[in-house]
Chain A
Amino acid sequence: MHGFGVALTPMNLVLMFTGVILGVIIGVLPGLGGANGVAILLPLTFGMAQTPGGATSAIILLSCIYWGALFGGAITSILFNIPGEPWSVATTFDGYPLAQKGRAGNALTAAFTSSFIGAFVAVIVITFLSPVIAEFALAFGPAEFFGVYLLTFCAFVGTSKEPPFKTLAAMMLGFGLAAVGTDPVTGTLRLTFGTVPLLTGFDFLVAVIGLFGIGEILLTLEEGLEFRGTRAKINFRVVMETWKELPRYWATSVRSSAVGCFMGIVPGGATPASFMSYGVARRFSPNGAKFGTGQVEGVVAPETAAHAAGTSALLPMITLGVPGSPTAAVLLGGLMIWGLQPGPLLFIEQKEFVWGLIASMYLGNIAGLIVVLTCVPLFAAILRVPFSVIAPVIIVICAIGAYTVHNAIFDVWMMVVFGVLGYLFKKLQYPLAPLVLAIVLGDSAESSFRQAMLFSQGDMAILFSNKLVGGLTTVAIVLLLWPLVTWLIAKARRASA
């Protein structure tokens, strides 16, 4: 309760709203994401963090940018079919069809409300379960971490609509791209072929900007010059109408919050959480077959999970110093620059900071919900701008976004290449999400795999060495083989018929 006293100063409230508004803008712009948005603003907070209580204000500003970006990603996903953030990719599956049906307002309200619920559940988890969960995750070894990665990636093969071999090819291409550059374990240069720009490897942000931003613009052009954004009308009536509909999906909300919290706490992150939750909801919902055609439930599931995961990703970051998402990793870097050592000691030595941060999570998400529900008409105004104006502006913003990742023009070229790939892949049903996720998680997945293998002297049996890792691996293998199982069942049915 003391935390609310820390967070509720007028200065911190102003920072909260500023952070959320900036975050939404960053989340809406395809070129600026939560992670690099926070990274760009991080240097501005150095001065602020030096003043007494300033570190709390600084983390409130940065974490509110994060909440804002989480909210904002949904806006472009639903209205433009361009995910502003990787974790809002799954929101496009049903959000965009809803918008095309003229129900953009309902989709947005559902998305924002679910985000809020997901985040709220996650903050409650952080508040009450942090000691228990910290102990649970403390027992994780490399094998368990690899088990989690394996499960996430196998889930793509098991649940994606695309042909399984295309999913596999796209996903492994991502791992291949992630392997480019310095080997995370030994420092050996890999796959650089003697070129300098490849030394740092491929950044997933550049890939995302190209694949989704430029790729979508190219796809849109095929349809002519009309931009495929849809209009949104959010007013009190639409909000109330949607809120009346939402309690029907309580089961999905509960499942998605659980998936999100778990995926956020183990370093899975918001992106796989949103996909897993969408997949789970599709399998369990009575409307599962209609998913992808514009179901409110298909928006609720990924948004709840993404926000729950994005929020709970901060739990291992503050308790253990292990970030659960790329943005949490940037925030972690910020804490260390400010002279705070994240880890269990933080709860003892910096009580005020920790509880101030946790209190700001409650308040920041309330601020976020207010901001997004009232400001959507502003974003809707963007949609009235004709395509011949908005397209070059989006390309320029994408180029600047790609450039700012490493201040390298090479990245801008890569963005164009990824744009062409995104166009081809989308047309040929190669899924983009596992590709991007593999680029993000490639290095950590590889490190945990190699550490586990070192530990067991190359014996794969370590992936079944205890109940936890054995369970993860078994579920992963079942999901991997799921397409084969359904195919065999279908074949057997055809044979008997």
Chain B
Amino acid sequence: MMNTTVADQLVAGYLARLDAALSDLPAARREELLEQVREHIATARAELGDEAGEAQIRTLLDRLGDPATIAAEAGERPAEPTPARPGWREIGALVLLPIGGIVIPVIGWFIGVALLWSSDHWSARSKLIGTLVVPGGLALPLALGSFATWTEHCSSNPEPLGGARESVCTGGPPGWWEILGPVTFGLLLLAPIATVIYLGLQLRRGPSIAPAMS
């Protein structure tokens, strides 16, 4: 049949609607799907023979289904956005937060905080933890440690008449500091390291998307 029949028009219309529905797909996949469906229709029409009427073509297209449904099925597993890899910003934050304040006193830590907050790899919660545990990073316990060295003055009173030698010390640390001091110091030392490990693990997990099933 040389003339464009109603059946041909129906098929062309269907394929045009499918083509439009698939517009979000990459060209190669779109073309493949159109080819498959075109072939499906051509094969079915060849089997129906020349007497295939309008009604039979409508049934054929109806069974193929709404182009939107086919497009939805085709788009079911879209190309996954590849999460941006951690860059210099994240590495800089991880280095400067703990030791920045030591390398460049005070300022180094603030640079670390700026890098931390400008990165989009961490949640606001992680950023708060990174900032507050511990402000200054390792520079804080080191600074406290040097301030807290008390200068102790001890003087011994010689007792010539057989009494016990008695030494009197003044200016030493208060009694509670003997126990609490090292504990606090230890915690302040460990906390920034724990924070860096935590932030590092968050990076590895990244804005994760379940891997595609294959």
Partners in one complex: no
Q: What residues make up the interface of B, taking CB atoms closer than 8 Å to A?
A: none
Q: What residues make up the interface of A, taking CB atoms closer than 8 Å to B?
A: none
